[in-house]
Amino acid sequence: MQVWLNNLQHLLAHGNAVVLVTVARVAGSAPREPGTKMIVTREDARYTISGGHLEWTAIETAQQVLKDGMRSPRMRRLERFAFGPNLGQCCCGAVVLPFKRLDVSYLNWMTTLNKRTTQGLSTVRSVSFAPMPDAVMLSDPELGAADSDCLLWDGAGFDESGALLTETIAPRDFQVVLFGAGHVGAVLVRVLATLPCHVTWVDERDAAFPAAQSCRTTRISS
């Protein structure tokens, strides 16, 4: 389950144009890893790629892409930011960020991607930055390569005109171990059931567990 996918599908279904910002490449020290996402609308930004000056600049760039996209709906950009020289931040690394404008015309592949992820299937998303970009492509990952990754292919050096972003989007449930089946634990389990996680719930008193529980919760008692 990828929470940003649900959010993005909801925005597109309601007719909103957005820009999907992805950390495509990291060199040296950077706050977030490749594959990290941020969604930028005309009104706000959701999720985070770093905070600080990089995120402020990324939001500003994304909103410009939204404006330019009124003339060119398939608008996409690729930008490289060095934390020190470009942004005055203390990190000594650099990141490459693709900015991809999405609107209701992309809803079909977004729905397909979300459905595959919900079914536990990994999917490769390919985005071209050529002068006449193709549609976003979805495909099955190669055998044995179903884990999440994010790669930017740009030939010899940084070249936006020939760049291709390939990203494997995989279901990802994080693990939570919760000790205690009292009233606080019961409330926490209900909250955790709304998140992409699997809960291992531990209490020596088997009778303390409520009868109903999430299918993503494992109960352990003595």
Q: What is the pLDDT of residues 140-188, one digit of tens each?
A: 888 777 678 888 887 555 555 678 899 998 877 678 898 988 889 888 8
How far apart CA 75 and CA 93 sit, in angstroms, is: 27
- CA distances in angstroms from 198 to 112, 185, 195, 218, 219, listed in the order given: 24, 15, 9, 8, 11
When mean pLDDT is compared over 59-68, 88-97, 127-136, the highest value belongs to 59-68
Whole-number pLDDT of residue 22: 94
pLDDT exceeds cutoff 70 at 21: yes
Closest CA to 62 of 81, 85, 84, 90: 81
Query: CA Rg, the chain, in Å?
Result: 20
Report the DSSP beta bridge partners of residue 37: 22
How far apart CA 2 and CA 132 sit, in angstroms, is: 30
How far apart CA 160 and CA 178 sit, in angstroms, is: 47
Contact 98, 129 (CB under 8 A): yes
Whole-number pLDDT of residue 89: 60
* DSSP strand pairing (45-46 vs 94-102): unpaired
Report the DSSP beta bridge partners of residue 25: 96
Whole-number pLDDT of residue 176: 87
Give me the percent of the chain exceeding a pLDDT of 70: 85
pLDDT exceeds cutoff 90 at 41: yes
- Which helix (H) or strand (E) segment holds residue 113: the answer is helix 107-118
How far apart CA 94 and CA 24 sit, in angstroms, is: 11
Q: What is the pLDDT of residues 57-69, one digit of tens each?
A: 999 999 999 999 8
Whole-number pLDDT of residue 72: 80
Whole-number pLDDT of residue 216: 62
Contact 122, 143 (CB under 8 A): no
Q: Residues 145-172, buried b or exposed e (16+ Cβ, 10 A)?
A: ebeebbebebeeeeebeebbbbbbbbbe
Whole-number pLDDT of residue 54: 87
